Amino acid sequence: MRLPPPGIKERIDPELLNKIIGKSLHNNGINLNYEYAVLTDNLDLTLISENYTPDSNNDYYSSELFPEDLFNTNYLSLYFPGQRNFVFKSLGFMTISSIVLTLLIILSFITTIYIIFRQKRLSEIKNDFINNMTHELKTPISTISLASQMINDPSIPAESKNMKNISRIIEDESKRLGYQVEKVLQMAIFDKGKIKLKLKPADINDLILSVINNFTIQVDKLGGKISGELNATKSQMKVDTVHFTNVISNLVDNAVKYSPEKPEILVTTENMNGKLMIRIRDKGIGIKKEDQKRIFEKFYRVPTGNIHNVKGFGLGLSYVKKIVEEHQGSITLKSELNKGTEFEICLPLKNNV
């Protein structure tokens, strides 16, 4: 007959049990503080460690002691007081690493998509620019070539060739060709930062009036009207007269181009808060809001249905913005579709003379 085993307290040495538990945990790579207890099958505490405190917030790990015993069942219960902090710290590092890695992947993906669309857009802009440049340069070249052919055509009598008119055509088209090439070269120079403005005293009202007079004949032929209200009393400033005249000319030229019927253009100047305000207003087709954000980008042209119905390289407004900024000024745009557009140039009077 098999006798029941001695009591659990007689069978277990607390110090030895503590060493065995510590060694087992260390061998498994667990270096946390722990507390233990030995329980009977009725969950009565038979043996506990010094700081063992039953707490529902702790996760307990139990294992049967002496599984060969037939009469009594005892359990070893173990918990780790710092387990949750340890888990949180471990997971925290992994979580932060995962979040950072995920954000980097998302950022890389977004950047890649942005670059792809940007390259696609640049490719479209480049193709549009090449098409427009080819068209713009081919026209004066063809006209000059035709005029030279007329001069050299022996079948046309000399008295019928109207040399004066032919020479005028060649001169005008040569100037036009040179102007188109110069516009491209100007932007290349600006990009490299090599241009130096030749500032000298000038009356802005006079410069604007000169531009208005130059466009009067062209606008009159279209049955339109161009006028100026030059009310600025302080209009003397140091500017690069050539480039600044080009700025006003470009804006007025755009007003003419984008007025489908009879152009109505008004150019005004006034002094406000120590600044000179210049406004060029038209009643043309206007500009959509989505296009207004990009209107000053180089090579960007507002879509008008036909790539050649409004001539140009898409360089004018980019050039205008750069020249205005070189004069420490700013330019803004107000436009409403089918109602017109207004460009406003603001120049500080600190360099007035």
pLDDT tens-digit map of 86-139: 656 666 667 788 888 999 999 999 999 999 988 887 777 677 667 666 766 776
Last residue within a domain, chosen from 81, 109, 139 = 81
Q: Work out how many domains the chain is built from and give that number.
A: 3
Residues 56 and 102 in one domain: no
**Which residues of the chain register pLDDT less than 70?**
1-10, 41-46, 55-59, 67-72, 82-93, 125, 128-129, 131-133, 135-136, 139, 156, 158-161, 176, 179-180, 182-195, 298-316, 351-353
Residues 225 and 341 in one domain: yes
Q: Which residue has the tokens 């500080």?
A: 348
- Distance (Å, whole) CA 14 – CA 39: 14
- Distance (Å, whole) CA 261 – CA 280: 18
Please tell me the pTM assigned to this model. 0.52
Residues 67 and 91 in one domain: no
Judge contact between 291 and 302, C-beta under 8 A: yes
Residues 104 and 233 in one domain: no
Residue 266 phi, psi (nearest 5)? -125, 130
Residue 293 within any structural domain of the chain: yes
Residue 237 within any structural domain of the chain: yes
Q: Residue 289 — left, alpha, or beta (φ > 0 → left; ψ -120 to 50 → alpha)?
A: alpha
Residues 179 and 212 in one domain: no
Last residue within a domain, chosen from 81, 107, 126 = 81
DSSP bridge pairs for 60: none
Residue 1 within any structural domain of the chain: no
Q: Which domain holds residue 286?
A: 200-351
Residues 211 and 262 in one domain: yes
| 244, amino acid identity | F
Residue 2 within any structural domain of the chain: no
